[in-house]
Structure 1
Amino acid sequence: MAATATAGADDLVEYGFRRVIITITAVLCALLEIVDTTIVNVALSDMRGTLGATLTDVAWVITAYAIANVIVIPMTSWLSQQFGRRNYFAVSIVIFTVASFLCGNATSIWELVAFRFIQGLGGGALLVTAQTIITESYPAAKRGMAQAIYGMGVIVGPTLGPPLGGWIVDNWSWPYIFYINVPLGIIATMLTMMYVKSPKYGEKLKASQVDWWGIVLLAAFIGSLQFVLEHGQQDDWFEDSTIVTLSVVCVFGLLGFIWREMTYKHPIVNLSVLSDSNLRIGTILCFIMGFGLYGTTFIIPIYTQSVLGWTALDAGLLLIPSSLTTAFMMPIIGNLIQRGIPQTYMVAVGFIIFFGFTFWMHNIMTPDTGTEHMFWPLILRGMGLGLLFVPITTLALSTLKGKQIGEGAAFTGMMRQLGGSFGIAIITTFISRFSQQHRVDSIAHLNGSSFEVQQRVTQLQQGFMAKGFPSNEALAKAHQVLDFSVTKQATVLSYMDVFLYLGILFLVCIPFILLVKRGKTKVDMSEAMH
Structure 2
Amino acid sequence: MSATATQNPDELVEYGFRRVIITITAVMCALLEIVDTTIVNVALTDMRGSLGATLTDVAWVITAYAIANVIVIPLTSWLSQQFGRRNYFAVSIIIFTVASFLCGNATNIWELVAFRFIQGMGGGALLVTAQTIITESYPIAKRGMAQAIYGMGVIVGPTLGPPLGGYLVDNFSWPYIFYINIPLGIIATMLTLSFVKSPKYAEKLKANQVDWWGIIFLISFIGSLQFVLEHGQQDDWFDDGLIVTLSVVSVFGLVAFIWRQLTYKHPVVNLSVLKDGNLRVGTIMCFILGFGLYGSTLVIPIYTQQILGWTATDAGMLLIPGSLTTAFMMPIVGNMIQKGVPQTRLVAIGFAIFFIFTTWMYLVMTPDTGTEHFFWPLIMRGIGLSLLFVPITTMALSTLKGKQIGEGAAFTGMMRQLGGSFGIAIITTFITRFTQSHRVDLVSNLDVTKPNVANRVSQLQQGFQSKGFSINESLQKAYQALDFSVIKQATVMSYMDIFMYLGILFVCCIPVILLVKKGKTKVDMSEAMH
TM-score by length of 1: 0.99
Question: Could you give the per-residue CA deviations for residues 340-384 of structure 1, whole angstroms, max 9, x where no partner exists?
Answer: 000100000000000000000001100000000010000000000
State the partner residue of 1:396: 396
What does residue range 433-512 of structure 1 map to in structure 2 within 5 Å? 433-512=433-512
Letter in 2 for 1:248: V
State the partner residue of 1:144: 144
What does residue range 351-430 of structure 1 map to in structure 2 within 5 Å? 351-430=351-430
Q: CA deviation at 1:529?
A: 2.1
Letter in 2 for 1:394: T
Q: 1:164 to 1:26 in 2, by over 3 A?
A: same
Q: CA deviation at 1:200?
A: 1.2
Q: Distance in 2 between matches of 1:116 and 1:143?
A: 34
In structure 2, list runs of 5 or more residues that go unmatched: none
Q: CA deviation at 1:203?
A: 1.0
State the partner residue of 2:348: 348
Q: Distance in 2 between matches of 1:384 and 1:446?
A: 41
Q: Distance in 2 between matches of 1:527 and 1:234?
A: 44
Question: Could you give the per-residue CA deviations for residues 37-60 of structure 1, whole angstroms, max 9, x where no partner exists?
Answer: 000000001111111111100000
State the partner residue of 1:161: 161
State the partner residue of 1:273: 273
State the partner residue of 1:72: 72
Percentage identity across aligned positions? 82
Q: Distance in 2 between matches of 1:424 and 1:33?
A: 18
Q: CA deviation at 1:76?
A: 0.3
1:335 and 2:313 equivalent? no
Q: CA deviation at 1:6?
A: 10
Number of corresponding residues: 527
State the partner residue of 1:20: 20
Q: Distance in 2 between matches of 1:106 and 1:458?
A: 53
1:292 and 2:292 equivalent? yes
Q: CA deviation at 1:187?
A: 0.4
State the partner residue of 2:230: 230
What does residue range 211-226 of structure 1 map to in structure 2 within 5 Å? 211-226=211-226
Q: Secondary structure of 1:233's match?
A: coil
Q: Distance in 2 between matches of 1:371 and 1:198?
A: 47
In structure 1, list runs of 5 or more residues that go unmatched: none
Q: Distance in 1 between matches of 2:227 and 2:242?
A: 10
State the partner residue of 1:87: 87
State the partner residue of 1:177: 177
Question: Could you give the per-residue CA deviations for residues 316-344 of structure 1, whole angstroms, max 9, x where no partner exists?
Answer: 00000011000000000010011000010
1:311 and 2:311 equivalent? yes
Q: Distance in 2 between matches of 1:457 and 1:350?
A: 48
Q: Secondary structure of 1:314's match?
A: helix
State the partner residue of 1:518: 518
Q: CA deviation at 1:7?
A: 6.8
Q: CA deviation at 1:467?
A: 1.1
State the partner residue of 1:131: 131
Q: Distance in 2 between matches of 1:203 and 1:157?
A: 37
Tell whether the 8 Å contact from 2:135 to 2:525 is kept in structure 1 after alignment. yes
Q: Which runs of 4+ in 1 moved over 3 A?
A: none
Question: Could you give the per-residue CA deviations for residues 100-132 of structure 1, whole angstroms, max 9, x where no partner exists?
Answer: 000011001000000000000000000000000
State the partner residue of 2:256: 256
State the partner residue of 1:111: 111
Letter in 2 for 1:164: L
Q: Distance in 1 between matches of 2:444 and 2:453?
A: 13
Q: Secondary structure of 1:182's match?
A: helix
Q: CA deviation at 1:221?
A: 0.3
Q: Distance in 2 between matches of 1:310 and 1:464?
A: 26
Question: Could you give the per-residue CA deviations for residues 222-265 of structure 1, whole angstroms, max 9, x where no partner exists?
Answer: 00000000000000000000000000000000000000000000
Provide the alpha-carbon RMSD of the alignment. 1.0
Q: Distance in 1 between matches of 2:298 and 2:310?
A: 15
Tell whether the 8 Å contact from 2:6 to 2:201 is kept in structure 1 after alignment. no
Q: Distance in 2 between matches of 1:343 and 1:6?
A: 31
TM-score by length of 2: 0.99
Q: Distance in 2 between matches of 1:94 and 1:172?
A: 25
Q: CA deviation at 1:202?
A: 1.2
